[in-house]
Amino acid sequence: MDSEFLAAFANDVRFQAGVSLGASTDSDKSPMDLAREQARGLVDASKVYHAAKLPPASAYQVQDKTIPVEGGTICLRCLIPTGIEDGVGLPVLVWFHSGGWIVGDLDQDDSHLRSICVELQLCVVNVDYRLAPEHPFPTGVNDAYTAVKWVADNTDTLRVSLFKGFVLGGDSAGANMATVCAHLARDDPFFEGREPTGQLLREPSVVQEEVYPAEYKAELLSMEEFKDGPLLNRDTLKQCRALLQAPPADPRISPLLFATHAGVPRAFVTYNGADPLRDDGRLFARVLREAGVPTKEIMYPGVPHGFHYSFPDIALGRKADQDIRDGLRWLLADGVSE
């Protein structure tokens, strides 16, 4: 593994004792509550790191929008650069956070997204989809898709021109949702003439282990290779997926299994060399490319899942941050003029 990561990990007290979702504890809190508390601690530490990198508050505005979804409402945090001339439309990134479908919220990537909003001069819509187990599958992905439709219908409110770029992005479970939404939108007449134009897929989960296709099993080796890895292991993944209650073969949880990937928007895919999900990302990038989808991929050697959250200041963490920005630039490079 990467020596700088190993040194940082060994000296970080946050990881001396993990929380297993299936384990009993001496606390009055449930394992789920403890897992969410631990995730909140990581988010708070990340916010401290990114605080010094935040752009001036005057450079962007924040609008929290509550939208209706089936059985309730969700919040969308919309980040919009200021100082935009009247009549000028912005590209948009619709973002879905990580957390194994069971943890996470709008704050998880908030600081990072504010920085991207200003640096790249694009609108960011951060989606607070509902979580399992309180809201099992397909609630979360349905929320995500409803949010994408809301963005398409509210371009004036957001000061957005979808022709400048309409990117769906996310991390881990969020990347899963992003590519699911891209596939669903491809086949939905609702999006005719206003199709998503890009996918930003960071360490994606694209197929559940129980339904690995026979033709790809020889390429999907990382789940076994890193089953006991740091930050994310096979048991935690199984616990998250059990709480989600999704049929493993449903393409809305295993998007590798969509009948075809032709016609989805271009993709920027990153994955980590010591991650159980490494081969999900690597295989998906190849499958997209073989389907005729323009695709770029980057692998970070010797680091595990989510390393960029916990250790953003190691060399690969800084590279991953810059790569996301450069990947977005590539996805937006060929925006079509109105």
| Three-state DSSP string of 264-283 | CCEEEEEEECCCCCHHHHHH
Q: Rounded to the nearest 10 degrees, what angle do helices 173-186 and 139-153 cross at?
A: 60
Report the candidate in 143, 177, 140 with the shortest Cα–Cα distance to residue 254.
177
| 246 φψ region: left (φ > 0), alpha (ψ -120 to 50), beta (else) | beta
Q: Give every residue of the chain whose pLDDT is below 50, as ranges.
A: 18-20, 22-24, 336-338
| pLDDT of res. 51 | 78
State pLDDT tens for residues 236-245: 999 999 999 9
Q: Is 299 helix (H, G, I), strand (E, B) or coil?
A: strand
Domains and CATH numbers, the chain: 3-9+51-332 (3.40.50.1820)
| pLDDT of res. 145 | 99
Alpha carbon distance 119, 210 (integer Å): 41
Q: Which of 275, 279, 280, 323 is catalytic?
A: 275
Give catalytic status of residue 305 as yes or no: yes
Give catalytic status of residue 275 as yes or no: yes
Q: Which of 111, 115, 172, 254 is catalytic?
A: 172
| Beta carbons of 261 and 288 less than 8 angstroms apart | yes
Alpha carbon distance 188, 121 (integer Å): 29
Alpha carbon distance 96, 105 (integer Å): 9
Give catalytic status of residue 30 as yes or no: no
In angstroms, how far is CA 68 from the centroid of its own chain?
22
